[in-house]
Amino acid sequence: MRLGWSKEKAAVLIRLSRLDGSEFYLNSDLIQSVESKPDTHIVLTTGTKYVVREADTEVVKRVVDFRRAINRPLASGRKGQLRLVNSEETGS
């Protein structure tokens, strides 16, 4: 399978399967709705529609897993971790 993106780009998208078995990557930020009728239909904010093999609950799980992965804190012991400070601490 050849992708138009680097592995890093593909890693931020969710992978789904069309009814014919072919796979594609979808930007989950564009999902407007996911419905089972009984096949799973995905409608994007652009108006594009997809019918996929995965159950609606699996599509939602993949989106949630993706969101958790990008919002995960830095590994412990790494420099550069963020913390909240108030203006008194910064002298601003």
Q: Give pLDDT, residue 89.
A: 47
Pick the CATH number of 1-68 from 2.50.20, 2.30.29, 2.60.40, 3.30.70: 2.30.29
Q: Give pLDDT, residue 69.
A: 81
Q: Give pLDDT, residue 71.
A: 76
Its pTM stands at 0.65
What lies within 8 Å, CB to CB, of 51 at 6+ separation is: 18, 19, 39, 40, 41, 42
Strand partners, 17: 23
pLDDT (tens, 9 = 90+) of the chain, 92 residues, equals: 344 444 444 446 899 999 999 999 999 889 999 999 889 999 999 999 999 999 999 999 999 888 888 776 555 554 544 455 554 544 54
User: In the chain, where are the structural domains located?
Assistant: 1-68
At residue 86, φ and ψ (nearest 5 deg) are -100, 170
Strand partners, 73: none
Closest CA to 52 of 19, 23, 91: 19
* End-to-end Cα spacing for the chain: 53
